[in-house]
Amino acid sequence: NAGVTQTPKFRVLKTGQSMTLLCAQDMNHEYMYWYRQDPGMGLRLIHYSVGEGTTAKGEVPDGYNVSRLKKQNFLLGLESAAPSQTSVYFCASRDSGGPQETQYFGPGTRLLVL
């Protein structure tokens, strides 16, 4: 099993450009999440999904959109990138059990917006 994979690993964008980050999991998990991690800020939840075809806003959703067309994939889109979106983005997935369930994280995508 590959677990949680993220594509691309690193990307440089110019302000105003768009891009999509892809997250894939092979553990048949119901729940998937997108976080951003900035120095001194910990992990902040952008959007999440509790099942195929569903999405919901997290703590910092502005400037991002998501889609969960297939259970194994969770896409994060930036329509018009801004320098404030320079960050490391992590995808995670977990099973649909109780609060003790483990979130499994991908290796991250490093995004630089110039």
Contact residues: other proteins, CB under 8 A? 4, 31, 33, 35, 40-45, 48, 50, 58-59, 90, 92, 94, 96, 98-108
Identity of the amino acid at 56: A
Instruction: Please identify, using beta-carbon distances, which residue of 7 and 18 lies nearer to other proteins.
Output: 7
Query: Which of 83, 85, 105 lies closest to 94, judged by CA?
Result: 105
Q: CB of residue 110 vs other proteins: minimum separation in angstroms?
A: 9
What secondary structure letter does DSSP report for 85? Answer: G
* Minimum distance from residue 75 beta carbon to other proteins (Å): 18
We find the least distance from the C-beta atom of residue 90 to other proteins, in angstroms, to be: 5
Whichever of 17 and 103 has its CB closer to other proteins, that residue is 103
Asked if residue 106 lies in contact with residue 53, where contact means CB atoms within 8 angstroms, the answer is no
**How many CA atoms lie less than 13 Å away from 59 in the CB half-sphere?**
10
**Between 17 and 44, CB nearer to other proteins:** 44
Total length of the chain: 114
